[in-house]
């Protein structure tokens, strides 16, 4: 089964459109720039800004994710966001607790997304949302129940990235740009 993941990743990477591949190479650097700007605009620093973006991301399109992060910074508890209520509460906690904000960045997908946004040039994290997992596994939401499966797929992406000479987050971003709804 695990070899099937590696094979599927290779097959799908071979099918990525050139513009998605090229944009994937820069995607997390651009996301980092957005976190820097958000941090500067609201005086919260890049780390807290990246954390807010990451915790607000589940179930949210990227453009809306950035808008929601600004709304939380501007309006606090009165902000209307598109993610889950518990994630909004985490974002509000990150705003309030500058010294312990990292404690609110939980879950494989959210933690990986945070790491990739904060440190795109050095992160070895692989962000796998439901679209990526369906794309790679073709088995739907069942994969989410297992952290082991998540890590297994992430490791295969890291290996493939090393073979093609790019960072894991770049490979993941190129694939994600190909499959995002």
Q: For residue range 16-69, list pLDDT tens digits in order.
A: 999 999 999 999 999 999 999 999 999 999 999 999 999 999 989 999 999 999
Distance CA 122, CA 79 (A): 33
Query: Among residues 141, 127, 125, 122, which one has the least CA distance to residue 175?
Result: 127
- Tokens for 18? 């050139």
Max Cα-Cα span within the chain: 47
119: helix, coil or strand?
coil
The predicted-structure confidence for 160-181, as pLDDT tens digits, reads as follows 999 999 999 999 999 999 887 6
Neighbours of 108 (CB within 10 A): 17
The predicted-structure confidence for 75-131, as pLDDT tens digits, reads as follows 999 999 999 999 999 999 999 998 889 899 999 999 999 999 999 999 999 999 887
Structure confidence at residue 170 (pLDDT): 97
Distance CA 105, CA 117 (A): 13
- Tokens for 85? 């209520």
CB of 145 closer than 8 Å to CB of 59: no
CB of 170 closer than 8 Å to CB of 24: yes
CB of 172 closer than 8 Å to CB of 126: yes
């Amino acid at each position: 089964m695990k070899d099937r993941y590696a094979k599927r990743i290779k097959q799908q990477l071979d099918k990525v459109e050139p513009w998605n591949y090229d944009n994937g190479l820069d995607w997390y650097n651009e996301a980092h720039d957005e976190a820097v700007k958000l941090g500067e605009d609201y005086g919260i620093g890049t780390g807290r800004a990246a954390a807010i973006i990451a915790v607000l991301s589940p179930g949210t399109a990227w453009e809306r994710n950035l808008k929601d992060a600004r709304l939380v910074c501007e309006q606090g508890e009165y902000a209307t966001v598109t993610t889950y209520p518990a994630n909004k509460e985490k974002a509000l906690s990150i705003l309030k607790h500058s010294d312990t904000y990292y404690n609110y960045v939980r879950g494989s997908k959210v933690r990986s997304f945070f790491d990739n946004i904060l440190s795109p040039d050095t992160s070895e994290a692989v962000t796998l949302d439901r679209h990526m997992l369906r794309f790679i596994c073709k088995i739907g939401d069942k994969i989410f129940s297992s952290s082991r499966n998540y890590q297994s797929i992430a490791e295969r992406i890291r290996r493939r990235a090393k073979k093609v000479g790019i960072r894991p987050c770049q490979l993941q971003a190129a694939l994600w740009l190909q499959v995002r709804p």
